[in-house]
């Protein structure tokens, strides 16, 4: 059995029909883009709670309903990491309210919030990490929108 040593929660986050991403710039490396999210912490109530915390830390934002749509497994030196990929709509964003520790560490590079059209072509033009998430988004834009637009039903 393989040990899970790291969990993260990430959001395919839409603001209307724009995908909200973080453009990362680091010295000596080409720019790349990531979805909003990060590590699950011990005091997070759930993986979805970690996602909501990360959205607030990175965007000063809140999201509506979040739907888990994919898992990505990363092979790490001491076990595996699991990225829990959610789809959600951005409800609010106030970049002046960002609180993530990374913003106070200039040596970690830049974290620019960007919005791109939610199309396979637009996503395909970016160096979106991880590549398997970029491919999933490009292959499933219609399905992702349908998940967001499907009302929640009570059993």
* pLDDT at residue 2 in the model: 80
DSSP H helices in the chain? 47-59, 120-124, 131-139, 141-149
Convert the pLDDT of each residue in 59-81 to its tens digit. 999 999 999 999 999 999 999 99
Convert the pLDDT of each residue in 1-13 to its tens digit. 689 999 999 999 9
Which helix (H) or strand (E) segment is 58 a member of? helix 47-59
Predicted confidence band of residue 151 (pLDDT cuts 50, 70, 90): low
- What are the angstrom distances between the C-alpha of 29 and each of 23, 76, 89, 127, 135? 12, 22, 30, 12, 22
Q: How many CB atoms lie within 10 A of CB 113?
A: 16
* Domains along the sequence of the chain with CATH: 4-149 (3.90.79.10)
> Which residue's structure tokens are 């912490």?
41
pLDDT at 154 over 70: no
């Amino acid at each position: 059995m393989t040990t899970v040593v790291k969990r993260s929660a990430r959001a395919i986050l839409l603001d209307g029909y724009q995908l909200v991403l973080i453009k990362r710039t680091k010295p000596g490396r080409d720019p790349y883009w990531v979805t909003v999210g990060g590590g699950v912490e011990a005091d997070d109530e759930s993986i979805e709670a970690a996602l909501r915390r990360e959205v607030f830390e990175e965007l000063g934002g809140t999201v509506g309903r979040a739907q888990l749509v994919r898992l990505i497994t990363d092979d790490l030196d001491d076990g595996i990491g699991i990225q829990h990929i959610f789809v959600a709509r951005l409800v609010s964003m106030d970049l002046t309210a960002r609180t993530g520790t990374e913003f106070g560490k200039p040596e970690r590079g830049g974290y620019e919030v960007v919005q791109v059209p939610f199309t396979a072509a637009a996503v395909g033009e970016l160096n979106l990490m991880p590549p398997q998430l970029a491919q999933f988004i490009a292959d499933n834009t219609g399905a992702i929108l349908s998940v967001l637009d499907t009302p929640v039903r009570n059993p």
